[in-house]
Amino acid sequence: MDSTEKDAKVKQSSRRRFLTQGAALAGLTAVGGIRSARGQKSESRVPDERSYSSFYGVPSHFESTVREMAPNQYPHMLSTLTPQQDSVGIITPSGLHFLNLRNHDAPPSIDPQQHRLLIHGLVDRPLIFTLEELKRLPSVSRIHFIECRGNTIWPGGNHSGFRTVQETHGKASCSEWTGVLVSTLLREAGVQKEGTWIIAEGADAGHHVKSTPMEMAMDDFMVAYGQNGEAVRPEQGYPMRMIAPGSVGIFNVKYLRRIKVVDQPYMLAAENTYADLRPNLQGKRLWFNYYWQPKSVITRPSGGQQLPRPGFYEITGLAWSGGGAIRKVEVSTDGGQTWKEARLQDPVHRKAFSRFFLDWTWDGQEAVLQSRCTDEQGDVQKSMDEFAELWGYKPGSIDINTNSGAMVNVIQPWKVDREGRVENAFLI
How many of the other CB atoms lie within 10 Å of CB of 179? 26
What is the value of pTM for the model shown? Answer: 0.83
Average pLDDT in the 380-386 region?
91
Classify 49 in phi/psi space as left (phi over 0), alpha (psi -120 to 50) or beta: alpha
Identify which has the larger pLDDT, 246 or 205: 246
Please state which of the four CATH numbers 3.40.50.2300, 3.20.20.70, 1.10.150.390, 2.60.40.650 is assigned to the domain occupying 295-427.
Answer: 2.60.40.650
Q: What is the pLDDT of residues 26-73, one digit of tens each?
A: 332 333 332 333 333 334 444 455 554 568 888 888 988 998 887 655
% pLDDT > 90, the chain = 61
Q: What share of the chain is helix, strand, coil (3-state, %, to 5)?
A: 25, 30, 45
Specify whether domain 68-286 bears CATH 3.50.50.60: no
Where does 114-213 have alpha helices with state H?
A: 131-135, 165-169, 182-189
Q: How confident is the model at residue 246 (pLDDT cuts 50, 70, 90)?
A: very high
Q: What is the pLDDT of residues 310-360, one digit of tens each?
A: 999 999 999 999 999 999 999 999 999 999 999 999 999 999 999 999 999
Average pLDDT in the 370-397 region?
84
Reported as type and span, the H/E element at residue 27 is helix 3-37
The pLDDT mean for the chain works out to 83
